Amino acid sequence: MAPNNKTVSAGTHPHGGGGQAFTGQKCPFASLAPQAASSGGSNRNPHAVLTKQKSMYVDGLAARIHDDMNLAVLAGMALMAAWAMWEGDRWTQYALTLFAAGYMVLDACWILCNPSGVKSPKTVLGHHVATLSVLVDPLLQPQHAFYTACALLVEFNTFLLILRRRVSWGGLLEVPFALSWVALRLIWYPFLGFYFTMCTFPETLKALYPERLVEWRFAVEEDRPVPMFLGSYLAWVGICIFQGWWSCALVRSYGRPAVVTRDKKFL
């Protein structure tokens, strides 16, 4: 039996015409009509449509909880990384490696369940996968756990990135945020990439590196140096490349309306 056709009234024409009936069809222009704001307010954001098209991000309770949790975790990791580097304790460094790996897994699971809670879920998930690939090396070779602390110093900058958009006085954080971005992401990370190249190909490239840097590697790894896993090294190279890409995006974002180009969260 064929389904019954339903009649839908199109409403009264604004110039006084009567409503027109459509049988079994939707009005072809219904999707073009402006939608009423769900909050009941009359002032609509002029960039709302553009923002909605570019991202599924919703600045709601889930996003705020995620930011608050990240502020606490990232601050703790940055401080623990600095302490682990200063003290040089292998167990502290390895505990930091375990904690960082666990955080990446849990945060990735949270994003998969709440993709609208972050501005760029695919980018953040890709970064987490790359970071976990890097952490495989110190997890399986504890003498490399010191390098985890070296890498996690960048979380100080990530902490500032999130904090500056969560507080009303975020403008005061622009200078320390920008300086730490350049120092950690554009100088420190490439240097670690240069150093990790030596760690990955110690015999092949040994003659190209300063003797003091080679001696420092032996001191860090307690005279038991082992090559870094190639997969972890390549993941680090990818992370360094993305630092440059994210830096270009950050520079382009300055001067644009904040509602369209609010900074993305990078781990």
Decide if 46 is inside a domain: no
**Domain tally, the chain:** 1
Q: What pTM value is reported for the model?
A: 0.73
Is residue 200 a contact partner of residue 235, using CB atoms and an 8 Å limit?
no
Containing structural domain, residue 104:
56-261
Stated as kind and residue range, the H or E segment containing 8 is: strand 7-9
21-23 and 7-9 strand pairing: antiparallel
Decide if 198 is inside a domain: yes
Report the candidate in 187, 205, 203 with the shortest Cα–Cα distance to residue 244: 187
> DSSP for 58-78?
--SHHHHHHHHHHHHHHHHHH
Instruction: Write out the two tokens for 171.
Output: 């403008």
Report the candidate in 98, 115, 119 with the shortest Cα–Cα distance to residue 107: 115
Decide if 225 is inside a domain: yes
- pLDDT at 229 (0 to 100): 97
Decide if 105 is inside a domain: yes
What are the residues whose beta carbons fall under 8 Å from the beta carbon of 142, sequence distance 6 or more? 90, 94
- pLDDT at 95 (0 to 100): 96
Distances in Å between the Cα of 145 and the Cα atoms of 22, 171, 218 are 69, 36, 14
User: What string of pLDDT tens digits covers the 267 residues of the chain?
Assistant: 444 444 444 443 444 444 444 444 444 333 333 333 344 444 444 443 333 445 577 777 888 888 999 999 999 999 999 999 998 889 999 999 999 999 999 999 999 998 888 888 898 999 999 999 999 999 999 999 999 999 999 999 999 999 998 888 988 999 999 999 999 999 999 999 999 999 999 888 778 888 899 889 999 998 788 999 999 999 999 999 999 998 998 888 875 654 433 444 444
Decide if 13 is inside a domain: no
- pLDDT at 33 (0 to 100): 37
Distances in Å between the Cα of 171 and the Cα atoms of 3, 54, 165, 176, 258 are 61, 25, 9, 10, 13
Helix (H/G/I), strand (E/B), else coil: 19: coil
Decide if 169 is inside a domain: yes
Distances in Å between the Cα of 188 and the Cα atoms of 57, 98, 141, 192, 201 are 31, 23, 23, 6, 20
Instruction: Write out the two tokens for 78.
Output: 């940055």
Quote the CA–CA distance of 132 and 112 in Å, as a whole number. Answer: 16
Decide if 34 is inside a domain: no
- pLDDT at 54 (0 to 100): 52
Quote the CA–CA distance of 71 and 158 in Å, as a whole number. Answer: 9
Cα-Cα end-to-end distance for the chain: 57
Q: Give the angle subtended at the CA of 96 by the CAs of 93 and 97, to the nearest 5°.
A: 90
In the chain, alpha helices (H): 48-54, 61-87, 90-113, 121-140, 145-152, 155-166, 174-180, 189-200, 211-220, 230-253, 258-261
- pLDDT at 24 (0 to 100): 44
Decide if 18 is inside a domain: no
- pLDDT at 58 (0 to 100): 75
